């Protein structure tokens, strides 16, 4: 599914897998050995809620992007492979986007940037 992030550096396009079920959300990107720079996984939450992610069985670094109900980015966390430290959203969110580690910084994506997801 298409997802875009509009930042000061431009509009960045991603194709995302949707982790819609509890099982899909629990598994996420575990055991993957790579993730292309234009790919990711989205975790929808309805109603908005505070969530925390961790990197159990996740072999690659990820950027975890927490997204508010208004579509703006609340927080971006750089997550290290296999780290079991909870990484909280810090506020209620409706979406969490996982992309390749370091990709947000490469693209100049920041907190407050706007995310649009067609679903």
- The C-alpha atoms of residue 80 and residue 63 are separated, in whole angstroms, by 9
Count of domains observed in the chain: 1
Domain at 96, CATH number: 2.60.120.1140
What mean pLDDT value characterizes the chain?
Answer: 97
- The C-alpha atoms of residue 61 and residue 115 are separated, in whole angstroms, by 21
pLDDT tens-digit series, residues 66-105: 999 999 999 999 999 999 999 999 999 999 999 999 999 9
- Confidence (pTM): 0.96
6-10, 11-15, 106-110, 115-119: which has the minimum mean pLDDT?
115-119
What's the rounded mean pLDDT across residues 2-6? Answer: 98
Under a CB-based contact definition with an 8 Å cutoff, are residues 68 and 29 in contact?
A: no
What is the per-residue pLDDT for 36? 97
Structure tokens at 119: 């679903």
Range of the structural domain that residue 16 is part of: 2-117
Q: Which whole-number Å values give the CA distances from 78 to 19, 66, 94, in the listed order?
A: 20, 12, 19
């Amino acid at each position: 599914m298409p997802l875009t992030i509009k930042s000061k550096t431009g509009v960045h396009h991603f194709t995302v897998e949707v982790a819609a079920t509890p099982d899909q959300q629990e598994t996420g990107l575990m055991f993957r050995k790579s993730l292309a720079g234009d790919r990711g996984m989205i975790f929808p939450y309805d109603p908005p809620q505070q969530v925390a992610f961790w990197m159990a069985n996740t072999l690659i670094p990820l950027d975890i992007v927490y997204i508010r109900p208004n579509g703006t980015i609340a927080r971006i966390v750089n997550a290290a492979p296999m780290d079991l430290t909870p990484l909280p959203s810090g506020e209620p969110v409706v979406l969490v986007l996982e992309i390749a580690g370091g990709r947000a910084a490469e693209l100049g994506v920041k907190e407050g940037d706007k995310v649009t997801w067609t679903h």
